[in-house]
Amino acid sequence: MRVVLAVVWLLTLCLVVNAQETVQRFDTNADGQIDQWEYYEADALTRLEKDRDYDQRVDHWVTYQDGKAVQAEFDTNGSGTADQREFYDAEGALTRVTSDEDGDGTFEQQLFYGADNQLERLEKDANGDGNPDQWQTFEQGKVARIALDQDFNGKPEQWQSYDASGATTLIEIDSTGNDKVDQWHRYTNGKVGQVDIDEDADGKVDQIIRYDGEGQIARVLQNIDAEGKPHAWMEYKAGVLASSAFDTSNNGEADQWHHYAAEGHVERIEYDQTGDGRPDQWEHFKAGSDEPYKVESDTDGDGNVDSVWESSDG
């Protein structure tokens, strides 16, 4: 009697769906509820459905060809519809994963895999317009570079590079939208160390900003010529501008120096009017004034002040 009952029970789990397809049903956790369905055509598995969390709703679908899985779908958020898909090659290796991260029915993220299931590339559509606006490349399973399309015009205008530890090493920016990088932000130990800027979009750096170990501006080089020589220098202390030097004659040497008070206003300007590399005129300023209240001059070039002009209210 027990043998007969067992045969009858097994037969109820194998049903003919149509002339070509049969389905086998399983209760994998012995709770009395069917939670897995296998579909066959000519004895070949073509599809599998599973209720992985045993809530009596299918949340996992697998499609087979020639006995091998080619696509799998998952309902990861319990919505009743698939929000993640996996694709496999003829050898069964994972090649791509797509996901609907916000549950709106649009699969806005794609992961691409190479040999040994190593993640190689990611594409993401952040604004849901159907076009990717973020591209990530990976090395040894870790993100190495990210390209961002922040204005959603279909082209990236920012690129971020990372080292093996995940720390940022370089950020490149196309600020003009001409498809050419014009800013390079270089990082050391996770902090920006230098920024190079091409201000006129001619492909050459015009300004260099250097930072100290705390990430504060330490020095700025401006008006860099075609030979890479700056014609203006700004020095900072604790991120505050302390002094500037300018090459107004374009001979590669500074001939004007500005010194600033802690509050930020110009305190003194020095001039080299003879071109010997030494200041020979000094102008002194008070806070809030563009006119000097005192001017000192070295008229004979001996390095000493021999002429002084001072305003009456100085």
Q: What is d(CA 79, CA 133) in angstroms, rounded to the nearest whole number?
A: 26
- Say if CB 73 and CB 84 are below 8 A apart: yes
pLDDT of 138: 96
pLDDT for position 60: 97
Q: Supply the DSSP string of 110-134, one letter for each residue.
A: EEEE-GGG-EEEEEE-SSSSSS--E
Token output for 276: 């010997």
What's residue 12's pLDDT?
38
Instruction: Give the pLDDT confidence score for residue 226 in this predicted structure.
Output: 86
Structure tokens that stand for 228 in this block: 């890479």
pLDDT > 90? residue 111:
yes
- Please give the single-letter amino acid code of residue 182: D
Closest CA to 138 of 118, 116, 167: 118
Residue 79 has pLDDT above 70, yes or no: yes
Band of residue 19 on the pLDDT scale cut at 50, 70, 90: low
Q: What is the rounded CA–CA span in Å between residue 80 and residue 307?
A: 90
Our measurement of the distance from residue 178's CA atom to the centroid of its chain's CA atoms, rounded to an integer in Å, reads 19
Tell whether the model's pLDDT for residue 294 goes beyond 90. Answer: yes
Q: Exposed, middle or buried, 238 (CB in 10 Å: 0-12/13-18/19+)?
A: exposed
Burial of 96 from C-beta contacts in 10 A (0-12 / 13-18 / 19+): middle
Q: Per DSSP, what are the bridge partners of residue 44?
A: 41
3-state secondary structure of 148: strand
- For residue 234, how many other CB atoms are within 10 A of its CB? 20
pLDDT digit string, tens, across residues 242-289: 999 999 999 999 999 999 999 999 999 999 999 999 999 999 999 999
What contacts 2, CB < 8 A, 6 or more positions away? none
Contact 294, 309 (CB under 8 A): yes
pLDDT in tens, 159-217: 999 999 999 999 999 999 999 999 999 999 889 999 999 999 898 999 999 999 888 99
Encoded tokens for 286: 């008070």
Task: Assess whether pLDDT exceeds 60 at residue 1.
Answer: no
Cross-strand partners of 134: 124, 148
Q: Strands 266-271 and 207-211, how do they pair?
A: unpaired
Question: What is the amino acid identity at position 191?
Answer: K
C-beta separation of 34 from 44 below 8 A: no
Query: What pLDDT score was predicted for residue 192?
Result: 95
Q: What is the pTM of this model?
A: 0.77
According to the model, what pLDDT value does residue 141 have? 87
CA distance 190 to 169: 7
Q: What's the pLDDT score for residue 190?
A: 85
Q: What is the DSSP letter of 195?
A: E
Task: Please name the residue that has the structure tokens 């319990």.
Answer: 78
**AA letter at 82:** A
301, 281 in Cβ contact below 8 A?
Answer: no
Average per-residue pLDDT in the chain? 91
